[in-house]
Amino acid sequence: MSVEGPDRELLEQPWVPMCLGGIQLLVKSCFGDTVYRLLLSDMQNVWEEQVDATVIQNRAQELNKRLHAPVDAFFSHLCTVARPLLAGEASTELVENGVQPSITLLCLRPDLLTLQLKSELAGVPFYWEFRCMQSSIPVVCSQLVRPLLAVSRVLQKQVMELATLLSRKDVEIQDYRESGAVLSRGRLHTECFDLQHYQETFLTQVLPKVCAVQDCFGFDTTLQWLYGAVTVQGIEEQEKSLVSYPVENPIQDSNVSDSHHPEDQTVGKKRSGSPIEQAEEPPDGTQEDSGKISGQKEVLRPATQEELQIEQTMPLCQASGNTGPSRPKKKKAVGLFR
């Protein structure tokens, strides 16, 4: 399945943790010219909203009776205020102007999630609501499940490469020791790396400590960067796979099919009446015509001793007459040809 347009732009955005009303959420958003798309998840449900210029104009007039402005002005202000908040950042322009917008959670149901944004536009309070409906399974898989699976594969690959590098380092250190090298400080001494022992120790000692932290929600900076890199690379691979392959030559296909059926090929050439065939036919309708025609039809018939003798004694110029000029040549009376 290809990823294009708004889906691609949203896929390249990282998931940002956000706490609203004591509820931990993962948020990703994408703002275009006069359209935006929003995804939110509490790890139990996923909600999404995608609006265009018409919805923005109608909802802005619905929530702000005192404001009358073109849709470009509403959307520009919405991008300035909402985009930094949804990305977990602070708007420098708003901080300099002393404006502190806020987002609150109005409704949270499996089928509906509503967020209210409060700010100021031209000195007048400006309100906006993000009305997100329950997302579909394909969207959840494309925006969350598949990228996370790809990230896990990348991390596993990285672990295996690091384990290989450590093993090579141990071999290098052992070679130094055998050459007489000695550590200047004993605390720098390390044991040889054993991957199986490391994995067992990690599962019994490190993993319980990681799972004990329940308030860790979302991705850190490194995982956000890795998520973005994996999704961009996946999109590029999909675009490469969509490149159309060259169509096979139909003439070549017909030649291949004819090679499996030599009888059909011979009959087809006779019906076509090419100039080469007309040149091979003698001008007078003698018994030689019937002999040649019958010989052409029975391609798979084994040659007799007399025919082999004729082919051996036939001049070279006559044997290559099939590819010569269209004018027939006079043949010598050899063997059966009288």
Q: Report H helices in the chain.
A: 5-11, 53-63, 71-86, 92-96, 137-140, 146-178, 195-201, 207-212, 221-241, 250-259, 262-272, 275-280, 287-297, 305-313, 316-319
pLDDT band at 130 (very low <50, low <70, confident <90, very high): very high
What torsion do the CA atoms of 179, 181, 187, 189 make, to the nearest 10 degrees? -10
Mapped onto helix, strand or coil, the DSSP state of residue 201 is helix
Summarize the confidence of residues 55-67 as an average pLDDT: 91
Identify the top-confidence range among 53-67, 209-223, 241-255. Answer: 53-67
Looking at residue 250, its pLDDT comes to 43
* Residue scoring higher pLDDT (30 or 247): 30
| Cβ 154 vs Cβ 226: under 8 Å | yes
Ranges 80-89, 186-195, 323-332: which has the least confidence: 323-332
Amino acid identity for residue 59 in this structure? R
The CA radius of gyration of the chain, in Å to the nearest whole number, is 40
pLDDT band at 47 (very low <50, low <70, confident <90, very high): very high
Backbone angles phi, psi at 266, to 5 degrees: -65, -45
Q: CA angle 135-141-142, nearest 5°?
A: 95
For residue 30, the SS3 value is strand
Q: Alpha-carbon distance 203 to 178, whole Å?
A: 34
- The rounded distance, in Å, linking the Cα atoms of 85 and 93 is 13
Residue 53 CA to residue 74 CA, distance in Å, equals 10
Q: Band the pLDDT of 101: cuts 50, 70, 90.
A: confident
Decide: pTM greater than 0.95: no
Q: In 3D, which of 308, 310, 303, 305 has the Cα closest to residue 334?
A: 310
Pairwise CA distance, residues 133 & 147, whole Å: 22
CA neighbor of 86 nearest in space, from 63, 102, 71: 102
Residue range 11-40: mean pLDDT, rounded:
89
Burial (0-12, 13-18, 19+ Cβ within 10 Å), 36: buried
Does the pLDDT at position 288 exceed 50? Answer: no
The mean per-residue pLDDT over the stretch 74-96 comes to 78
Q: How far apart are CA 194 and CA 140, in angstroms?
A: 39
d(CA 150, CA 235): 12
Span 135-181, pLDDT tens digits: 999 999 988 899 889 888 999 999 999 999 999 999 999 999 899 98
Distances 321 to 292, 324, 328 between C-alpha atoms, Å: 14, 5, 8
Pick the CATH number of 7-138 from 3.30.420.40, 2.170.210.10, 2.40.50.100, 3.40.50.2300: 2.170.210.10
CB 124 within 8 A of CB 67: yes
Give the DSSP letter of residue 122. Answer: T
Rounded percentage of the chain residues whose pLDDT exceeds 70: 64
- For the chain, domain boundaries: 7-138, 144-180+194-235
Other CB atoms within 10 A of residue 115 CB? 27
- Angle at CA of residue 214, ends 209 and 217, nearest 5°: 115
